[in-house]
Structure 1
Amino acid sequence: MMATPACKEEISKEWLQVILTQYESRSKPKTSVAVTSFEVNPGVGPGENFSSQLLKIVVETQVSHGDQEEHTAKTYNLLAKFMQGNGFIREMGKTTNAPLKEIMIYSDVIPALNQFQSERGDGSNQVDIPGFVHGVCVEGEYVLVMEDIRLSGYMNNNKTKGLSYKQILMATEKLATVHAVSYAYNKFHDFTNKFPPFRYLEIVPRQFPLFVMTFYDLCIKHLEKVKYNEKTLEKLRTNRAAVKRRIKSLLLPQNQKIKCLCHGDYWNNNFMFRSDRADGLSDPDAIMLVDWGNTQWYTPVLDLQYLIHTSTQLDFRREHREEILQHYHSVFTAVTTKLGAPVPSWTFNVFKEECQKARIFGVVMGMTVNLITLSKQNQTGPLVQTKPVNSSSLAWRISCRLGKIMAPLFLSKMMQPLTRAFLSKWMEPNFNELTTGKNEILNQRFYDLLVEADNDGVFDI
């Protein structure tokens, strides 16, 4: 088997021929694909992707079926996702199974869920994602190749604007559908037994609160620096331990009444809309979900709170928050009932109470995501610079092996001070930009979330 390329520079005509032949042969056996030419370009703009390298590949080919002598010209428009960093860093990134789970979402999980809802329901609860072409996740190798849906008219909403009314209703409905179908599927097939990499990992409620509280402490430091309202500052300091306990409690499976497949990073840039209307994407016809790298099996209210607080503006939340919750709950209830797995104990009032408890999660993640994604310094920062690697070298193989061996140590409790130092160094430039006040959109979104949460008693835990 041909080795998987590790970066843009290692993509070859021979590798593309192999994966495209395999892709075509899944539906049409004995198909062969001959690549005549290909072009590789960045898949996203600067600062739009931090944890991976996304590449757009346009491949011109000649396709033949079986023993036929006739060849058909075909163009493939692909997106290839690679990990970043050296072998050591990449193997560290695989420790939580996140890269493997993302490949499985495309290759196995969503197809299984779509088949299930079609067999038990009427087929109307389809979860739409880009078509899967190829994926590998083993020691020293990782790639996910999928169809480039932008050629079908799908686009991201401008992250600086926040979602429109139609957009968030569509995004909420699709999120509720993913949650409901996976919840029902689990009642008949035992999801985590069918897909073992999605099983709960003990390191999650230890590592994630560390990330959240590192941000929380940097936030207090920033507010002290700009001489923010002392009453709010004192509340944040005094309630720090309670906030940490609440965040950790939300992540513990024994505290989650409803568990299902959650996206884990469900915000503006991780779904794409299509519209045939002249007024653009504010009134879309369809939605496609992308970037499943943070997928988890846990409570759905975290996904919903994440969506609301990362992807909407203050006035919109004030006017439509209750409606969004009602829409989500009605869709979830209808779909689970239709698929033979009703949840009568999860009334709207119970659900709303869970959402209120989880709102601290949504607020903190909303502030974090906006701080990172709206920062101008991220457009040229080190996280968007990807250097070529040589994955065939001995040094690469040794680096990968060391990363796999050392990963459990780096994720252990004893290494938390080092992890915290790294996270602080990573986020401090964003807080420095916030302090200058020159990025008006960033400052408004950040402070709107803070003031709104403070006024609504979210920090009064």
Structure 2
Amino acid sequence: MKTPRSGKDITGPWLEYILGEHLDKPPASLKVVNFTVGPGAGPGDGFNSELAKVTAEVAEGEDDNSPVPQQTTTFSMIAKFPSLEPMIHEINRKFLTYEREYVIYEELIGNLNMLLVSKIPEEPKVPIPKLIYGKFSAKEFVLVLENLKTKGYETNDKRKGLDWPQLLTAIDSVARLHALSYVYNKANDIKKEHPCILTTSKMLSTLMPAVMPMLHNLVIFLKSSKETEALGQKIEDVKSSLLQKCLSILTSESPVTCLIHGDLWNNNLMYKHKDTEDGTAGEIEDMMLIDWGQCSFGSPIYDLQYIVYTSITRQVRQAHLDELLHHYHSTFMRLVTLIDAPPSNWDYDQFIAKWKESRAAGFLFPFALILGTMSTTNPANKKPEPSVLDKPYLAPVKALVNGMKSGLAKVMAPIIFSSVGRSMVEGMFKRIMKPVVDELKSGKNEVLNTRLLDLVYEADEDGVFVE
């Protein structure tokens, strides 16, 4: 059955088809009694895709004329479709984003967890949402996942940052992901098995046309104040070499390479807490890793640098960083030792040496994420204004306009990643992010300014801005 292009195209027969596949029952034995479709993400979330929240009440067995009442089951799901924005869709298609995420849910994480069950079944699995239905081809993409919110999972407030228990839970799960994929790769060669999973350095190099203009704007902000002017100049002096420094570290030989999540931050972690008598959140009961479109193959240090410098405050880092790194390393080594021979050159001192060597990656990409996601003026974080073309009688005109946009996107997407195109994108991002610079200068967004300046000060203390 043809896959809907977006949430608004979902039909009852399609839901019967995918749920029949999920339940291993013929679609004719199922009947969707009622279903609803609504937005699955707010402004600024789901940037690379369209998310739809779907609830379907499904009857099984006899038809409506039977004297025996039908049994009904309610399914709460999140359907993930390609981005409705033509240029974003073409860029994701070019860089295999949809295929990567399909492979993760349909096969790869399942294989890792089967390896774990076969060797040490008492250990927790890599936690990801249950896949109800998935399809990927040259023209179609959809992932239908369980709706975790209906099961009590929530995303932490990104402005507060993860607390220590939340961070420790996340790091424990990520250590399992890294350990299992490290062992699995030795026998299966993940990159050869799944060519859509790029190396970490190649993945990150595609982000540079957006990251470098943001670094430019950061320098403008820092130089606007006497207190930070010298620091802004220091970053300006090294910004051209900072990129190469970061990528060279990530492409250098590492004693451990594995599958990394690639976008491991607050909003891609969902927690379920135990109930308490007073209604407040109790201890963490479970956690899920979501949004795998940026996964890649490379050094596990990148995931650690990313979550530490995007998702916790400086106070949490100062209080718990050493404990966190010890916990990660001991968990990783314990698991690979139980399953397979551990790496011979990855003791704690060697691990810490790699952590310090990769410090530039813990500044360059986290700063860009914080600047983009915590701003109140970033256009990507705002709900799109209604278009006059949304009126029903203008549907043919809207279809024509969308077709023209799609055609233009197919022509422009390859150009964007040429040397000329990169310059165009960098110039565009400088203009788009100018309101964010103004917001920083105003000091009104205290959380944004504090988190960003903390990153800058810490990176300077760690020697990131030294040639």
Structure 1 length-normalised TM: 0.90
* CA gap 1:217/1:132 in 2 versus in 1, 3 angstroms: same
SS at match of 1:429: helix
* CA gap 1:379/1:12 in 2 versus in 1, 3 angstroms: farther
**Residues 140 and 397 in structure 1, CA contact (< 8 A), matched pair in contact too:** no
Query: Aligned pair 1:424/2:421, yes or no?
Result: no
- 2:419 pairs, out of 407, 413, 425, with 413
| Residue 246 of structure 1, CA deviation | 1.2
Query: Aligned pair 1:345/2:342, yes or no?
Result: no
Matches within 5 A, 1:228-307: 228-252=227-251, 254-278=252-276, 280-281=280-281, 283-307=283-307
More off after superposition, 330-339 vs 118-127 = 118-127
* CA gap 1:46/1:30 in 2 versus in 1, 3 angstroms: closer
* CA gap 1:381/1:29 in 2 versus in 1, 3 angstroms: closer
| Residue 181 of structure 1, CA deviation | 0.4
Structure ranking higher on relative contact order (CA contacts 8 Å, 6+ apart): 1
**Residues 274 and 282 in structure 2, CA contact (< 8 A), matched pair in contact too:** no
Indicate the residue corresponding to 1:39 in structure 2. 36
**Residues 50 and 384 in structure 1, CA contact (< 8 A), matched pair in contact too:** no
SS at match of 1:80: strand
Matches within 5 A, 1:300-315: 300-315=300-315
**Rounded Cα–Cα distance in structure 1 between residues aligned with 2:347 and 2:141:** 42
* CA gap 1:134/1:250 in 2 versus in 1, 3 angstroms: farther
**Rounded Cα–Cα distance in structure 1 between residues aligned with 2:141 and 2:154:** 26
| Residue 408 of structure 1, CA deviation | 3.3
Q: Percent identity at matched positions?
A: 31
Give the residue type in structure 1 aligned to 2:436: N
**Rounded Cα–Cα distance in structure 2 between residues aligned with 1:241 and 1:216:** 10
Q: 1:330-367 CA distances to partner (integer Å, 9 max, x unpaired)?
A: 11111111111411211111111111122221123222
Indicate the residue corresponding to 1:374 in structure 2. 374
**Residues 329 and 348 in structure 2, CA contact (< 8 A), matched pair in contact too:** yes
More off after superposition, 218-227 vs 258-267 = 218-227
Give the residue type in structure 1 aligned to 2:81: F
**Rounded Cα–Cα distance in structure 1 between residues aligned with 2:258 and 2:122:** 20
**Residues 270 and 288 in structure 2, CA contact (< 8 A), matched pair in contact too:** yes
**Rounded Cα–Cα distance in structure 2 between residues aligned with 1:64 and 1:291:** 35
* CA gap 1:85/1:418 in 2 versus in 1, 3 angstroms: farther
Give the residue type in structure 1 aligned to 2:262: G
| Residue 401 of structure 1, CA deviation | 6.6
Indicate the residue corresponding to 2:192 in structure 1. 193
| Residue 411 of structure 1, CA deviation | 2.0
**Residues 209 and 247 in structure 1, CA contact (< 8 A), matched pair in contact too:** no
**Rounded Cα–Cα distance in structure 2 between residues aligned with 1:64 and 1:243:** 63
**Residues 88 and 401 in structure 1, CA contact (< 8 A), matched pair in contact too:** no
* CA gap 1:249/1:205 in 2 versus in 1, 3 angstroms: farther
**Residues 56 and 75 in structure 2, CA contact (< 8 A), matched pair in contact too:** yes
* CA gap 1:86/1:450 in 2 versus in 1, 3 angstroms: closer
Indicate the residue corresponding to 1:79 in structure 2. 78
* CA gap 1:261/1:359 in 2 versus in 1, 3 angstroms: same
**Rounded Cα–Cα distance in structure 2 between residues aligned with 1:277 and 1:341:** 41
**Residues 132 and 147 in structure 1, CA contact (< 8 A), matched pair in contact too:** yes
Q: 1:41-68 CA distances to partner (integer Å, 9 max, x unpaired)?
A: 2223333332222221111111249xxx
Q: 1:248-270 CA distances to partner (integer Å, 9 max, x unpaired)?
A: 21332x43332111111101110
Query: Aligned pair 1:433/2:432, yes or no?
Result: no
| Residue 413 of structure 1, CA deviation | 2.8
**Rounded Cα–Cα distance in structure 1 between residues aligned with 2:207 and 2:296:** 12
**Rounded Cα–Cα distance in structure 2 between residues aligned with 1:373 and 1:327:** 29
Give the residue type in structure 2 aligned to 1:170: T
**Rounded Cα–Cα distance in structure 1 between residues aligned with 2:153 and 2:85:** 33
| Residue 271 of structure 1, CA deviation | 0.9
Supply the RMSD in Å over aligned alpha carbons.
2.9
* CA gap 1:434/1:192 in 2 versus in 1, 3 angstroms: same
Indicate the residue corresponding to 1:24 in structure 2. 23
**Residues 34 and 62 in structure 1, CA contact (< 8 A), matched pair in contact too:** yes
More off after superposition, 276-285 vs 237-246 = 276-285
Matches within 5 A, 1:358-369: 358-369=358-369
Q: 1:288-329 CA distances to partner (integer Å, 9 max, x unpaired)?
A: 111111111111101000000011111111111111111111
| Structure 2 runs not aligned, ≥5 long | none
**Rounded Cα–Cα distance in structure 1 between residues aligned with 2:166 and 2:371:** 22
**Residues 57 and 80 in structure 1, CA contact (< 8 A), matched pair in contact too:** yes
SS at match of 1:73: strand
* CA gap 1:426/1:198 in 2 versus in 1, 3 angstroms: same
**Rounded Cα–Cα distance in structure 1 between residues aligned with 2:286 and 2:194:** 28
**Rounded Cα–Cα distance in structure 1 between residues aligned with 2:86 and 2:210:** 23
Q: 1:154-181 CA distances to partner (integer Å, 9 max, x unpaired)?
A: 1111111111111111111111110110
* CA gap 1:147/1:301 in 2 versus in 1, 3 angstroms: same
Q: 1:404-459 CA distances to partner (integer Å, 9 max, x unpaired)?
A: 56543332233211121233233332222222111111111111111222233232
Give the residue type in structure 1 aligned to 2:128: I
Matches within 5 A, 1:175-186: 175-186=174-185
| Residue 400 of structure 1, CA deviation | 5.2
**Rounded Cα–Cα distance in structure 2 between residues aligned with 1:142 and 1:398:** 21
Q: 1:112-168 CA distances to partner (integer Å, 9 max, x unpaired)?
A: 110111112235140111110222333443322100011211111111111111111
Give the residue type in structure 2 aligned to 1:260: C
Indicate the residue corresponding to 2:224 in structure 1. 225
**Rounded Cα–Cα distance in structure 2 between residues aligned with 1:380 and 1:370:** 13
**Residues 43 and 382 in structure 2, CA contact (< 8 A), matched pair in contact too:** no
Matches within 5 A, 1:209-224: 209-224=208-223
**Residues 200 and 250 in structure 2, CA contact (< 8 A), matched pair in contact too:** no
Give the residue type in structure 2 aligned to 1:85: L
Structure 2 length-normalised TM: 0.88
User: How many corresponding residue pairs?
Assistant: 455
| Residue 31 of structure 1, CA deviation | 7.4
Query: Aligned pair 1:62/2:84, yes or no?
Result: no
More off after superposition, 41-50 vs 193-202 = 193-202
Give the residue type in structure 2 aligned to 1:45: G
Give the residue type in structure 2 aligned to 1:275: H
**Rounded Cα–Cα distance in structure 2 between residues aligned with 1:139 and 1:402:** 19
